[in-house]
Structure 1
Amino acid sequence: MVEPWQDTTLPARTRAADLLARMTTEEKTAQLSSVWIGADTEGADVAPGQHTYASRSAALDALLPYGVGHLTRPFGTVPVEPAEGAARLAELQRTIRAGNRFSLPAIAHEECLTGFTAWQATIFPTPLAWGATFDPALIMDMAQAIGTSMRAVGIHQGLAPVLDVVRDARWGRTEESIGEDPYLVGTIGAAYVRGLQAAGIVATLKHFAAHSASRAARNHAPASIGPRELADLILPPFEMAVREGGARSVMPAYNDIDGLPAHAHAGLLTQLLRDRWEFAGTVVSDYYGVSLLDEAHRIADGEGAAARIALAAGVDVELPAARCFSPKDPLPEELLDRAVLRVLTQKCELGLLDADWEPVTGDLPVDLNPPHMRELAQKVAEESVVLLANDSGVLPLSDGLRIALLGPLADEQAAMLGCYTFPRHVGVHHPDLPTGVEVPTLAEALRAELPGAVLGEDLSAADVCVVVAGDRSGLFGRGSSGEGCDAEDLELPYGQAKLLDEAMASGVPVVIVVLSGRPYALGRWADRAAAVVQAFFPGQEGGAAVAGALSGRVDPSGRLPIGVPRTPGGQPAPYLAPPLGRHGFPSTVDPTPLYPFGHGLSYTTFAWDAPRCDTVELPTDGETTLRLTVRNTGQRPGTEVVQLYLHDPVGTVARPEVRLVGYARVTLDAGASAEVHATFPADLAAYTGADGRRVVEPGALELRVAASSEHVHHTVPLTLTGPVREVGHDRRMRCELRVK
């Protein structure tokens, strides 16, 4: 007989509620728990305090009679060959099913920020590079491919994307973020969510909220942020990913906001996320986030109190291991049932409650780095390379040149890899382990790209010098970029400034290539450099992508998702600063970026015709469509990125001078043209006023059609008419741009 909770014709929530009613308190609590197999083994060190917590957490054997909610990182803790890992995970799921009376398996989750964080899996560019592509469709394809590979070996949930809007690039996790603009972060992030979940993987939004707004850009530090900045700059990407992306899981942040830790913030996790945004998925703690309510924030007296506070706020699952959510310290029944119903509903949606469910064993051999994923990694890398300067015309490099290739990162794989790639996250603890995938260095890629060139380190005989500067990623101090690797300023690390000074003094034209997880101050050399190229940890195909951009095989089409500073101090200086946050009397500090948000050059040229607008007067609940023709006036194909910014001359509160409200990539052959249609809804002019209401006000606006936040081609004055209109969470959040 099929029980109602096993009946696939019934709605998931109905099935989950039937199962919930049959469970004991111990069985319910077990569904909120997680088990991290291998967390305390030698060479597994991917989270702070991991070994201490693992030794004090509930073991699998203790949970088996009741069930297990989550399995933590079966592939991303220690190296495991893919087919063997799939077989081990399948056997573990069989053990878990056999141990509990309902035969329930666990949800297996993994990191997937730069691809599936598993040995031998394709390594994609870091999220800051996703932002540089300005290409949501490509990022969605990438995410779907990542999700498909995870699903093929038995994974159900991915801990990505990171939707933190960067407020200070000294923050070590800048590389994990998509950029400094909420519209760019939201549109790219929602695309990633749609792609991952199209493959059957639950996407998890991180870190909710204000993790990136910490004081002095220190990891886990309190966020000094007001409710308006939170509402207008930090929260929109999460809202977009929930409403438009359909995200099915959210992870709270480690920080506190005005003294209230995110894991204890009912205003965020329940009143906003669930009551107003109508989010129906699960909230999973960041690793040890519940424990930290007791140990770090000190708002709880012991583990049981921490569990009750987190559960009441809206946390449903404790990751990565059961410590606070324990039947030994009973949880309030009403709150327990609320969380368990959400978890069981998600398990039902994943098929884990079906009577015929069987674990995925994987086809042998399991290939986590197939050709189509390498091609996607290459395309994302190529579209993310940003040409910042080329005033001398030294780029593209011709074959046959004598090239002095300098810099500690010129021939190092680490220059390509972010901190959540398997080699930098796990592999560093296994020095004898092969990388698992081919990751050509820039030196290797340049030799293949320009076989007739002579590469060496001799400046005296060189026609051109390429200096490769940037970062090595790592975790918690093991790199210059990455989680826990915050910077005191934005000076290039490892003494690279001295190397650049010496190269500039040689008289040889110098091309600066920055491979990094954050922007660094380049103003010291900008006037003397022949060219400047930026790539943000571009992944396993990044060497070939950057080499292709240097040779001209790839026309650079990336645009900056975050501005490049002129000087290493005077931070933060995001482009979304209000007027007083910009340069001017009476401060002697100039925070104006050297290269602004949205900036990027091409090897061809473009002309933008004056835009035409359906109407320049529209009601506060209306819309207008702008049409613009872009022409490739150069001698080679190329891609222009049309960006639409909004300027509001007068508001009731101080606001950013401009903010991005739309963009489109326009790829054209030499001599070709295309028309860009941009439909702008008045809802995008909404902002949060002093009274906390989000409103659209009548009055004058400007739409700025631009190649960057500072390079404006055309300005279109608009007038909004009618009453002040309050907008809610059903407002339109994007400007639709179409290329014809």
Structure 2
Amino acid sequence: MKRIAIVLGLAAVVMSCARKDWRDASLTAEERASLLLKEMTLEEKVGQMCQYVAPCYVEPGKGSARKNIDATDENLGNKDLSDKVRRGEVGAFLHVMTSTEAVALQKLAQESRLGIPLLLGIDAIHGNALIEGCTVYPTNINMASTFNPELMEKIGEETALEMRQRGLFWTFAPNLDIARDARWGRMGETFGEDALLTSEMGKYAIWGFQGRDGKYSGNHVVACAKHLIAGGEPAGGLNAAPMDISERKLRELYLPPFVAAIRDAKVGTVMAAHNEINGIPCHGNKWLLNDLLRDELGFDGFVVSDWMDIERLHSMHHWVPDSTEAFVVSVESGIDMHMQGDKYFEAVVAAVKSGRIPESRIDQAAGKILAVKFALGLFEQPVPEIPEVLDGAAEHRQTALEAARQGLVLLKNDGTLPLKNPRRVFVVGPNANSQTILGDWAVPQSDDNVITVLDGLKAAMPNVSIDTLCFGGKISNVNAKGVQMARFKASAADVNIVVVGENSQRYSAFGRTCGENCDRDDLSLPGMQQQLLEAVVASGKPTVVVLMTGRALSIGWAKENANAILNAWEPGQMGGQAIAEVLTGQVNPSGKLPVTVPRNVGQVQTVYNYKHSQYSRLFATNETGALWPFGYGLSYSTFEYSDATLSKSEIGVSESLKASVTVTNNGPYDGDDVVQLYIRDEYGSVTRPVKELKAFRRISLKNGESTKVEFDITPEMLQCWGVSEKWSVEPGDFTILLGSSSSDSDLTPLPLKVK
């Protein structure tokens, strides 16, 4: 009987094990992925590593109907894409820009042997803006200007909900590049030049997309931290150009946002960068993708290539002799998914069969991709249900409006703003009544869903006579005749509002000057916009400049001659209302610059956290230094900083302390300000920056109200990557600086000694 019992017990255990099935939703995502891998062929596993652009985005042999700068049919060969999906040789698609296609693709995948659903991704950079009708929030540079990470998290949550409702589950966001060169066209896609600000905004964005638990539950999606690494300071300002940096600079400046994304926010995917680092392209950099990313930082998701950047290991970098070698090297180096293009599948399968790539490496990559799909719930509902009307759309637009309000940066004001009940207003400029207000990574939206600057002013000033000259929304339409007409119209107005800047519209034929792969060797206003501005100012009437741009522009003449300047960046579909509210005084401006504005292109690189020796010499023919400093932004209120103190004047290397300052709103309006804390290590084993942002807090104060703002200063905030090539707090003299911007004139210095 005992023997029978043992046999029955063993049989029960065997049956229990046998009952474990990848279809069992009670198992963890990782367990289910491991079980499913055992049933998959090599070809099906490699298929999971293949991502293609959606068929409707680029028709084979025809290129892109949208005339997108990067959408070509090069190597696409997707005539047999449907058969590939049916064979299980495709794991993901990107740029699925219609719900109809999202449903059709998932139904197609259900015809494969195992019915593994597809992971459908999109560049939801500032809202799900590549889908018409979804909310277009302000761009990332706008959001950085709010210094409000909690608002960024809310936008991430709302974006994820709208993505889910359109059958999409993966966003290629946030962009964690540190933008240190205004010539580079992607500045507007980033959170600016500072590591801490980018880390905080990026971390909260990921929390919004994925949820705080990092499990993509409910209405969340999987995020993608990009681009690993250091693409925001390219040689010559050109996208994808080489980058040579020390390990110290990499760890202190470019890596912190990825550390926060991985360790704090548990980001699910990472995208490699276009560029090379110290001679090794990022897409083939095993130290970067394995030793640093996985072994040191503990990243446990999967790594995706950027658009056809694996092929560029051969065609652009000239690092390997052909694309086949590029495909193999990328897998060996740590890339788990190939974005866009043919021949990758065949090359990787052949490399495994030849013994060059072990199948365990394929299991690792495919397993992580499958685990994300399981965690997203795709296996339980592979074919999405698409509502006709977006749930929450009205509330989301109010969020977009509030974000636009908080991100507008007032750079100059001689008292002209807020406007004092003018009777006649002249609104002029190519960006005054244009969807350039949406920024990059947005398709044209219905005019009913976009509030331009002109729309906003008409609504805010219904009894004011508004004359216009908008040049058809095209910078290239500004010509000598138009400039002369503007001078004439400006003379008849009580106040002139000149809306100038750049055009980042990816999907238009309006002449892009900014955005991805739109880098410039000149930071002045493009076209004849400078002449336009000078003509309006020459009228002698008060002139307000509204600057709409995706990069910091060197507008020194405007600073000297305009009465007021409002840097609007690209504030999204509700931006026109927000701009009008600020100009008319309904909203008190509160945005702060997340980048330093260079005086001219010849002074690039211009950043706030420079080394002491950078300005030991001065330029011979122009004033040296920034046009406006990082962290700067005016208000209609006057904020007074007083009683700045430290809880200790001496600490040990492992001790913490508190810094505090009292902020008073001396009026005459209620308003917000951003309290900023910087630290300077006076002397170290390696030279240190003049100051580094280590904490900030956005506060709201009524007219006449005061508050005490307190910060904790921890050892981590004092440490550096010293000569010992490790993180440590070095004993010595430090200075804690508290104030409203990075400018020394706005900061109160407090000495601190570390023993």
Which of 340, 354, 362 is the equivalent residue of 2:386?
A: 362
CA-atom RMSD in angstroms: 2.1
Query: Deviation of residue 237 (structure 1)?
Result: 1.1
Q: Equivalent residues in 2 for 1:50-61 (5 A)?
A: 50-55=72-77, 59-61=81-83
Query: Deviation of residue 45 (structure 1)?
Result: 4.1
Query: Deviation of residue 587 (structure 1)?
Result: 6.1
Equivalent position amino acid for 2:95 in 1: R
- 1:620-675, Cα deviation, whole Å (9 max, x unpaired): 12211122221111122101110111111112222221111111111011111222
Query: Deviation of residue 90 (structure 1)?
Result: 2.5
- 1:672-691, Cα deviation, whole Å (9 max, x unpaired): 12221211112112222244
Which of 130, 147, 153 is the equivalent residue of 1:134?
A: 147
Q: How far apart in 1 are the matches of 2:342 and 2:643?
A: 61
DSSP 3-state at the match of 2:325: helix
Which of 201, 206, 226 is the equivalent residue of 1:193?
A: 206
Equivalent position amino acid for 2:384 in 1: V
2:312 is equivalent to residue 292 of structure 1: yes
DSSP 3-state at the match of 2:449: coil
Q: How far apart in 2 are the matches of 1:518 and 1:299?
A: 32
Q: How far apart in 2 are the matches of 1:164 and 1:590?
A: 29
2:725 is equivalent to residue 702 of structure 1: no
Which of 413, 431, 446 is the equivalent residue of 1:409?
A: 431
Q: How far apart in 1 are the matches of 2:575 and 2:370?
A: 41
Structure 1's 546 and 713: CA in aligned 2 closer, same or farther, altered over 3 A? Answer: same
Q: How far apart in 2 are the matches of 1:527 and 1:294?
A: 49
Which of 92, 95, 98 is the equivalent residue of 2:108?
A: 95
Q: Equivalent residues in 2 for 1:703-722 (5 A)?
A: 703-710=736-743, 711-721=745-755
Structure 1's 646 and 516: CA in aligned 2 closer, same or farther, altered over 3 A? Answer: same
2:640 is equivalent to residue 607 of structure 1: yes
Structure 1's 619 and 286: CA in aligned 2 closer, same or farther, altered over 3 A? Answer: same
Structure 1's 119 and 436: CA in aligned 2 closer, same or farther, altered over 3 A? Answer: farther
- Is the contact between residue 133 and residue 449 of structure 2 (CA under 8 Å) also seen in structure 1? no
Number of equivalences: 696
- 1:489-537, Cα deviation, whole Å (9 max, x unpaired): 2111122111222223222222111011111112223222211110110
Q: How far apart in 1 are the matches of 2:490 and 2:308?
A: 51
Q: Equivalent residues in 2 for 1:73-152 (5 A)?
A: 73-75=95-97, 80=98, 85=99, 87-100=100-113, 102-116=114-128, 117-152=130-165
Identity within the alignment, % = 32
Q: How far apart in 1 are the matches of 2:448 and 2:262?
A: 34
Which of 514, 518, 526 is the equivalent residue of 1:485?
A: 518
Residue 27 of structure 1 is matched in structure 2 by 44
Query: Deviation of residue 40 (structure 1)?
Result: 2.8
DSSP 3-state at the match of 1:467: strand
2:525 is equivalent to residue 514 of structure 1: no
Q: How far apart in 2 are the matches of 1:351 and 1:67?
A: 21
Query: Deviation of residue 586 (structure 1)?
Result: 7.4
Q: How far apart in 2 are the matches of 1:602 and 1:215?
A: 36
Structure 1's 451 and 8: CA in aligned 2 closer, same or farther, altered over 3 A? Answer: same
- Is the contact between residue 39 and residue 50 of structure 1 (CA under 8 Å) also seen in structure 2? no
Query: Deviation of residue 56 (structure 1)?
Result: 6.6
- Is the contact between residue 682 and residue 688 of structure 2 (CA under 8 Å) also seen in structure 1? no
- Is the contact between residue 163 and residue 186 of structure 1 (CA under 8 Å) also seen in structure 2? yes
Structure 1's 692 and 241: CA in aligned 2 closer, same or farther, altered over 3 A? Answer: same
Equivalent position amino acid for 2:115 in 1: S
Query: Deviation of residue 583 (structure 1)?
Result: 6.0
Residue 298 of structure 2 is matched in structure 1 by 278
Q: How far apart in 2 are the matches of 1:474 and 1:154?
A: 25
- 1:288-311, Cα deviation, whole Å (9 max, x unpaired): 111111221122233321111111
DSSP 3-state at the match of 2:672: strand
Q: How far apart in 2 are the matches of 1:202 and 1:437?
A: 31
2:520 is equivalent to residue 494 of structure 1: no
Q: How far apart in 1 are the matches of 2:569 and 2:578?
A: 12
Q: Equivalent residues in 2 for 1:68-467 (5 A)?
A: 68-75=90-97, 80=98, 85=99, 87-100=100-113, 102-116=114-128, 117-198=130-211, 199-326=219-346, 329-331=350-352, 332=357, 333-353=359-379, 356-363=380-387, 365-367=388-390, 370-390=393-413, 392-414=414-436, 416-423=437-444, 435=446, 438-456=449-467, 458-467=489-498
- Normalising by structure 2, we get a TM-score of 0.89
Q: How far apart in 2 are the matches of 1:466 and 1:449?
A: 14
Query: Deviation of residue 468 (structure 1)?
Result: 1.4
Residue 427 of structure 1 is matched in structure 2 by none
Q: How far apart in 2 are the matches of 1:508 and 1:675?
A: 42
- Is the contact between residue 122 and residue 437 of structure 1 (CA under 8 Å) also seen in structure 2? no
Structure 1 alignment gaps of length 5 or more? 424-433, 722-740
- 1:159-215, Cα deviation, whole Å (9 max, x unpaired): 001111111011011111111111111101111010011242110011110111210
Q: How far apart in 1 are the matches of 2:674 and 2:727?
A: 30
Higher mean C-alpha deviation, range 453-462 or range 528-537? 453-462
DSSP 3-state at the match of 2:660: strand
Structure 2 alignment gaps of length 5 or more? 1-17, 212-218, 468-485
DSSP 3-state at the match of 2:515: coil
Query: Deviation of residue 322 (structure 1)?
Result: 4.7
Q: How far apart in 2 are the matches of 1:402 and 1:297?
A: 57
2:485 is equivalent to residue 468 of structure 1: no
Structure 1's 58 and 132: CA in aligned 2 closer, same or farther, altered over 3 A? Answer: farther
Q: How far apart in 2 are the matches of 1:12 and 1:46?
A: 37
Equivalent position amino acid for 2:117 in 1: P
DSSP 3-state at the match of 1:330: helix
DSSP 3-state at the match of 1:193: helix
